[in-house]
Amino acid sequence: MDVTLIDPRDATAEIDDPTFRVEIISGDRSRIDTWRISGARDFRDVWTWADNEKGDGSVVIHVEVRTDSGLTLVRLHGVPYGQGHGDGAPASASG
């Protein structure tokens, strides 16, 4: 991880009401439910909702950003299904 002090005035825009995408991966990894959440106060609200919904599964949270080339997902939390268990742990050889 690299940490650099920056000038906060370098941003050209700010989105005050982001749309989030939440993937809930079942504990046995047999199912992924994907939800779009808008109108949340902040990331903490989205995380609280997802944590309550996940049961014994895991969660991946993205923020959606629309660009000229389409919809871009910026990952904020978790590890996508194909890259691990979604809980920060790497996938094992047995799955």
At 80 the pLDDT is 83
Q: Which two tokens stand for residue 36?
A: 């779009």
At 95 the pLDDT is 37
At 41 the pLDDT is 94
Supply the pTM of this predicted model.
0.79
Q: Is residue 45 helix, strand or coil?
A: helix
3-state secondary structure 63-86: EEEEECCEEEEEEEECCCHHHCCC
Output the average pLDDT for the chain: 88
Note every long-range contact of 78-83, with CB atoms under 8 Å and residues 24 or more positions apart, other chains counting. Answer: 78/23, 80/23, 81/23, 81/25, 81/29, 81/32
